[in-house]
Structure 1
Amino acid sequence: MSGQTAAQAMAAAAARLRAAGVPDPARDARLLLAHAARIEASRVTLIAPEDLAPEIAERYEQLIALRAVRVPVSHLLGEREFYGRRFKVSAEVLDPRPETETLVEVALSAPFDRVLDLGTGSGCILVTLLAERPTATGMGVDLSEAACLQASANAVLHRVAERVNIVASDWFERVGGRFDLIVSNPPYIALAEMQGLAPEVLRHEPEMALTDGGDGLGAYRRIAAGAPDHLVPGGRLMVEIGPTQALTVSQLFEAAGLSGIRVIPDLDGRDRVVAAILPE
């Protein structure tokens, strides 16, 4: 890509990504050029007519080569936007997804003082909730030590670290006390469905954050079983689900003695969140 203007390099990169089957090649070429040049993406147009400096061209070449083999853009940038904030991400945690913002919206629709996030990953849900509710405190648990470190870093980044406790735990194993809100975006993809995932997800995201290695409902069974002992009376439980799981997860919650069960769709109209209340 040397001896080219930024615009030429970007066009060549987009063509290369398109040939590799990358879904939105022009967008990715633009974002990665901004990253290579260490500028905001909105300023790429300003440098378009200029020759690309050799060190920027070299960085860009490496980034495009990695994106062409389907390394996610967020991993190359080291961050992903979620609910209007930038979160540090890595291959050790699930990428924050726009549809998970539905879970955050539902959680914020009523007051809470103490929140528990099961399988916190990058911490995007927990950190967002605490950032939006400056008086609340929270706990996040994850089986992965690497995820706990990532969540802690994001808590520091968004200045909520003093109000949060991140613990390595197998679901409720090391959780004490009761909460008025429990949230989770657990692994819900059935093992049989894994091969149908995009290469970015299948090759570059942690398997334990995607699937329970079984029917995709294992996490919900654990959450339903443990939630009543960790909610205050009237406390809320809400989980993200796969689009076909609403009925089964609702039944699990009902069998655990939870009430007020409702299913909330995401912006695309797909079932996305199941919410329930512990009766008072």
Structure 2
Amino acid sequence: MTERYGNELFTLRDLLRFAVSRFNEAKLFFGHGSDNAWDEAAYLLLHHLHLPIDRLEPFLDARLTSDERAGALRLIDRRVSERLPAAYLSNEAWLGEHRFYVDERVIVPRSFIAELLHEQLAPWIDEPDAIGSVLDLCTGSGCLAIIAAHAFPAARVDAVDVSADALAVARRNIADYALGDRVRLVQGDLFASLGGRRYDLIIANPPYVSAASMASLPAEYRHEPELALASGDDGLDLTRAILGGARQHLGPGGLLVVEIGHNREALEAAFPDTPFTWLDTSAGDQYVFLLHRDELP
């Protein structure tokens, strides 16, 4: 559909304006790395043209070749007609300074735990080198396992997922970061394949979408694996299982850090005697909790 405009759009500025108009007209949903049409259009076009994604201004008035323009228009059309998240069109997602390969076998990385690993856990972890073992549950693309390996240079990391497809993506990302000697992939349902292994830190960004929310998800989210999103009627099935099994897999003084989406009120009602510590993130203190081993229910 967009190709008929090819002879009227010449510069990156032209394509950017056109993309923003198309995205707004189509009422796309933005929630996989950007929150508005301008940022998403700029990212997709810069990525398509192999330009630095943080350097738009110098290139705005550069003219595109006919092949570049045709490719850009196809990209814009796919974002609108298929409602694909931008990360699946570019096959990449960013968490801070870390880039990851992604495709429709995994959810698009967007965990708040990523921003917590380097600094915000400092009050509970005196020295990063004191963390010798980390478990990343529901690892998906392997993003948190990789960031944990960077944050805790002395640690070995086990990254667990029930999905063989997700682990294939994680394996590619671990290889890209040359972490194969420190990050071990394990296929299994939460703790089921770990035997008696214990860890200094367990992190998890499990499925946490309730049944009602699943029924009303925007089309963009429906391209992500349902297995990585849905977690029972109230969104807490996986979180309950993690709370039930974490104690026997944490060493003395071990910590559990879990992201739960918008389920804080429901979780506190379900576990009224558990002293959750809610960690500050860029979106507030509603989304990620921390528990010491001896605080677990």
Q: TM-score, normalised by structure 2?
A: 0.84
What is the CA distance between 1:245 and its match in structure 2? 2.5
Which of 103, 128, 141 in structure 2 is aligned with 1:90? 103
Instruction: After TM superposition, give the deviation of residue 83 of structure 1 in Å.
Output: 2.9
Query: 2:25 maps to which residue?
Result: 19
Instruction: Return the alpha-carbon distance in structure 1 between the equivalents of residues 74 and 165 of structure 2.
Output: 26
| SS in structure 1 at match of 2:58 | helix
The alignment's C-alpha RMSD in Å is 2.3
- CA-CA distance at 1:97 after TM superposition: 1.2
User: Is residue 70 of structure 2 the alignment partner of residue 58 of structure 1?
Assistant: yes
Supply the distance in 2 between the matched residues of 1:119 and 1:275 (Cα, whole angstroms): 17
Q: Which residue of structure 2 aligns with residue 192 of structure 1?
A: 212
Determine helix, strand or coil for the equivalent of 2:150: helix
Confirm or deny that 1:271 pairs with 2:286.
yes
* 1:34 pairs with one of 28, 37, 46: 46
> Secondary structure, in 3 states, of the residue corresponding to 2:263?
coil
Which residue does 2:84 correspond to in 1?
71
Gaps of 5+ in 1: none
2:41, 2:294 → 1: CA distance? 52
Structure 2: give runs of 5+ residues left out of the alignment. 31-35
In structure 2, relative to structure 1, the CA distance for the partners of 1:12 and 1:162 (3 Å cut) is same
In structure 2, give the amino acid aligned to 1:19.
Answer: E
Contact 1:2 1:52 in 2 (8 A): no
Equivalent positions of 1:99-110 (< 5 A) are 99-104=112-117, 105-107=119-121, 110=125
Question: Is 1:8 matched with 2:24?
Answer: no
Q: Name the CA shift for 1:132/1:102 in 2 (closer, same or farther; >3 Å).
A: closer
CA contact (8 A) 1:148 1:168 kept: yes
User: Paired residue for 1:235, among 254, 265, 274?
Assistant: 254
TM-score where L is the length of structure 1: 0.89
Q: CA deviation at 1:106?
A: 4.4
Give how far 1:191 is off. Answer: 0.9
Supply the distance in 1 between the matched residues of 2:101 and 2:85 (Cα, whole angstroms): 13
Q: How many residues align?
A: 275
Post-superposition Cα deviations, 1:6-42, rounded to whole Å, max 9, x if no partner, equal 2222211221111011352222222222122222234
User: Structure 1's 124 and 254: CA in aligned 2 closer, same or farther, altered over 3 A?
Assistant: farther
Contact 2:235 2:263 in 1 (8 A): no
Identity between Structure 1 and Structure 2 (%): 32
Task: Give the Cα separation in 1 of the matches to 2:237 and 2:111.
Answer: 24
